[in-house]
A = this chain, B = another copy of it.
């Protein structure tokens, strides 16, 4: 039962595309991640996923349009919707999603990583 300072948590890691769990509530995780480069097209069959940008500029490509997120903006990707996050420069994001989410969704490749507890 401690408060969490987002900037402080972000200062404690530097790897990309490796979600860090910083909170848990009602079967959901709050996560932080640093993103750089292009991820992989994927979808989450049963989970909606929220991306909130803390720092940087994130492009989320969907099959039919693009979403550009700046700091203080969020986007909810509905379950079943294919997407790919792209970060030309480093982006810092906060994620809200069910505990069951796997970062690469329906795709299994070298980028598939379990989220790490970072409480």
Contacts and interface: CB of A to CB of B under 8 A. Distances in A.
Contacts of A114: none
B26 A75 contact: no
Interface residues of A, number: 31
Contact of A69 (B3, B47, B78, B97): B3
A78 B24 CA distance: 10
Nearest to A101: B26
Copies assembled: 2
A116 interface: no
A105 interface: no
Interface in A20-47: 23-26, 28, 30, 47
B26 A48 contact: yes
A39 B3 CA distance: 20
A47 B105 CA distance: 27
Given A3-B67, A6-B72, A30-B74, 10 more contacts: A3-B69, A3-B74, A4-B75, A5-B73, A25-B50, A25-B96, A26-B98, A30-B50, A30-B96, A96-B96
